[in-house]
Amino acid sequence: MKADLTIRSHLRDYGVHFVGELAVPLRELADGHAFFVIDALVWRTYAPVFQAVVGEDRLLTIEAVETNKTLDKCREIIETLVDRRVRRGDRLVAVGGGIIQDVTAFTASITYRGIEWSFVPTTLLAQADSCIGSKTSINLGDRKNLVGNFYPPSDVYIDTGFLESLSVDDIKSGIGEILHYYIYANDDALDDLLGDYATLIRDRGLLSTHIRRSLEIKRSVIEADEFDRGERNKFNYGHTFGHALESATGYAVKHGQAVTVGMDLANYMSTTMGLMSDERFQDLHRRLSVNFPEYDLATIDLEAYCEALSKDKKNMGDNVGCILAQDVGILFKRQLPMDETFRETVRRYFLEFSPGKDRDVRRADPR
Ligand SMILES: NC(=O)c1ccc[n+]([C@@H]2O[C@H](COP(=O)([O-])OP(=O)(O)OC[C@H]3O[C@@H](n4cnc5c(N)ncnc54)[C@H](O)[C@@H]3O)[C@@H](O)[C@H]2O)c1
């Protein structure tokens, strides 16, 4: 089957296939040498689709919760694989969102020093973002994505039909990641996405053009900087501030919506430092807030938030490693000292820009 997109990678090139009928590639994958790791909810929702091709002895279902993205869970999977006589030449097939992807890909990378894996992403975030790029990440205690490596799949099969059963929050989470690629690339599709926002949440088949565009933007960078040593760093835009928001809200805010707020906070920081104009911040705030979570940001515990920020793996010394912006498409890396000015800027942002509030930006400390 000819791929719709081919991704060049250090270990193997791989194809992304947009499939109308998942049963066809599923039958090919389930040729007796595949072992399926499936999101338990996806299994329950689509059982007949999988039961038709996957034998029970070649299947493991896992609940997609962050507490399963652990080394203990990987060990459990490896023990199951060995018990079920999965060999070095066999392959794992991950079916689910980013959690199932991370846990399966990391397990594949260390089992027998590396066995192949294929991916059927079932969330918008996984279809539009995480399914390419080779990263695998496992949590260590409360430190998210601390352990991992780069281990690309052999192929990816995207069936947008899975999006029909996805919660609205998970659709919004995926949209947050797409927004961040569009802002990075200053892509015209940004206005289309925001203009059609309500329709896209209802009529999910329409998201396929955005999934493809988002992957094309990501591909153009990861092929040149797969190991995240230069340009790819800019994809952290919104992520440092977003991860801390996920953590400080006990994961009540989903990843992609946290990234949406994170981009806005990065823009606010940039504005208070004189890097972005007030007008640009206000304009972007108005557009980004379409995808904000329904969460009162003013209630966030600043100490817990800064504590989470201080644990980010991109930090150097006591500084917070983040991506700031001058404008759409003009991003740069900065290490910011977490001093009083920094804390005050975060505090003021949460107070003034929680969903529903729309006020002018005030400069904290123009530098
Ligand atoms: N490796 C990477 O490059 C990368 C990139 C971004 C994010 N991530 C990781 O991905 C994780 C988040 O992944 P995610 O947002 O894709 O979702 P997820 O895997 O956390 O799943 C979210 C929820 O959606 C459910 N679900 C999955 N598919 C469904 C479907 N078709 N219908 C109904 N429900 C469905 C799951 O059971 C779960 O309850 C985080 O752990 C994050 O760190 C990894």
H/E element holding 327?
strand 319-327
pLDDT for the residue 364: 35
**Can you give the pTM of this predicted structure?**
0.94
Distance CA 15, CA 72 (A): 31
pLDDT for the residue 99: 97
CA distances from 328 to 2, 77, 233, 332 (A): 35, 43, 16, 11
Q: How many Cα atoms sit within 13 Å of 328 on the Cβ side?
A: 20
Atom of ligand 1 nearest to the CA of 39: 37
331-366 pLDDT, tens digit per residue, is: 999 999 999 999 999 999 999 998 755 544 433 333
Pocket lining: 128 vs ligand 1, CB cutoff 6 Å: no
Atom 39, ligand 1: residue with shortest CA distance = 64
Mutate to test the pocket of ligand 1, among 38, 39, 135, 162 (most ligand atoms within 8 A of CB): 39
Coil, strand or helix: which one is 294?
A: coil
Distance CA 25, CA 101 (A): 18
Q: Which residues of the chain have pLDDT under 50?
A: 359-367
pLDDT for the residue 106: 98
Pocket lining: 259 vs ligand 1, CB cutoff 6 Å: no
Sign of CA dihedral 66, 72, 73, 75: positive
Pocket lining: 67 vs ligand 1, CB cutoff 6 Å: no
| CATH topology assigned to domain 168-352 | Dehydroquinate synthase-like, alpha domain (1.20.1090)
Pocket lining: 9 vs ligand 1, CB cutoff 6 Å: no
**What are the residue boundaries of the structural domains of the chain, listed by start?**
5-165, 168-352
pLDDT for the residue 365: 37
The number of helix segments (H) and strand segments (E) in the chain equals 15, 11
Q: Partners of 59 in the beta sheet? A: 36
259-308 pLDDT, tens digit per residue, is: 999 999 999 999 999 999 999 999 999 999 999 999 999 999 999 999 99
Pocket lining: 42 vs ligand 1, CB cutoff 6 Å: yes
CATH 3.40.718.10 correct for 5-165: no
Atom 17, ligand 1: residue with shortest CA distance = 97
Pocket lining: 43 vs ligand 1, CB cutoff 6 Å: no
Domains 5-165 and 168-352 share a fold: no
Burial per residue of 277-305, b for 16 or more beta-carbon CB atoms within 10 angstroms, e otherwise: eeebbbebbebbbebbbebebeebeeeeb
